[in-house]
Amino acid sequence: MGQAIAATLAKEGAAVVVNDVVPERANKVAGEIKAQGGQALSVAADVSKAEEVSMLIAKTLASFRKIDILVNNAGIAKMIRLLEMTEADWDSHMNVNIKSQFLCSKAVIEHMVKQKRGKIINLASLAAHIGAPGLSAYGASKGGVAQFTKALAVEFGKYNIMVNAVSPGFTLTKMVKQAGKDRPDFLEGMDRIPLRRAAETQDIANVVLFLASAESDYITGQVLVIDGGLLAIHPRMVKPTD
């Protein structure tokens, strides 16, 4: 999903910093953007660690001098039932999915306050809005993202900083495909989606682009659910056509 978001923003003229804890992945995406004539910098930072976030911000400012948009996209998802979950399992979800957003947002907002403008888009999940067996840690972390988003929007609106979140439903990311292999029942709900398909990563990237653009300048504190209409269905419905 991050690759699609980075490419979409770059296509619209943004200078993009591509961060990935795996350097080769960041380099690949940044290289593809440059090959298309865009501006991109690759960085390999673990955004769950404060010192590495500081390094990421320093490299960004050294190359581009300012930060207008932050997309908090780092995430992991493991389907683990509560009684099988270890403390390390819980901590890894919190560190990657919500602590990283705290660290990156805090570091970037310091500069956005001085600029008196900025856009922050946090990636949440459909799991922030529903419960599902095996997703207690993931859902809790993404629910935290939703509330974190609203709090930041209220706190920093006076500085013209807009903070919103996107909650994708079933999206054909590598993470979702792997979850489907690990637990085939994870994908069972897809036949209930009114639009009759899972989202492509480009569907989510398009929403992020909108929230990053001037067209969304009066939108803040919102958590946009992009799920093909899944949450709109009455829970007793088997399929949207029944």
- The label of the residue with tokens 């976030």 reads 53
What pLDDT score was predicted for residue 186? 62
Q: Is residue 77 part of a domain?
A: yes
Residue 171: pLDDT over 70: yes
Query: How far is residue 149's CA from residue 225's CA, in Å, rounded to a whole number?
Result: 14
The model's pTM is 0.92
Could you tell me the strand order of the sheet in which 161-168 lies?
69-72, 118-123, 161-168, 223-226
192: pLDDT confidence band, cut at 50, 70 and 90?
confident
Q: Is residue 210 part of a domain?
A: yes
What pLDDT score was predicted for residue 189? 66
What pLDDT score was predicted for residue 4? 97
Query: How far is residue 88's CA from residue 151's CA, in Å, rounded to a whole number?
Result: 28
What pLDDT score was predicted for residue 190? 76
In a 3-state reduction of DSSP, which class is residue 74?
coil
What pLDDT score was predicted for residue 238? 53
- The label of the residue with tokens 């974190």 reads 148
What pLDDT score was predicted for residue 180? 64
Backbone angles phi, psi at 22, to 5 degrees: -100, 110
What pLDDT score was predicted for residue 100? 99
Question: Radius of gyration over alpha carbons of the chain, in Å?
Answer: 18
Q: 32-71: per-residue pLDDT in tens?
A: 999 999 999 999 999 999 999 999 999 999 999 999 999 9
Residue 212: pLDDT over 60: yes
184: pLDDT confidence band, cut at 50, 70 and 90?
low
Query: How far is residue 221's CA from residue 150's CA, in Å, rounded to a whole number?
Result: 4
Q: Is residue 241 part of a domain?
A: no
Structural domain count of the chain: 1
User: Average pLDDT for residues 139-158, to the nearest whole number?
Assistant: 98
What pLDDT score was predicted for residue 21? 97
User: Average pLDDT for residues 224-233, to the nearest whole number?
Assistant: 94
Q: Is residue 11 part of a domain?
A: no
Selected catalytic residue, list 6, 123, 138, 146: 138
Note if 218 is an active site residue: no
How buried is 97 (Cβ within 10 angstroms: 0-12 exposed, 13-18 middle, 19+ buried)? buried
Range of the domain at 184: 68-232
Averaged confidence pLDDT in the chain: 93
Q: Is residue 52 part of a domain?
A: no
Q: Is residue 9 part of a domain?
A: no
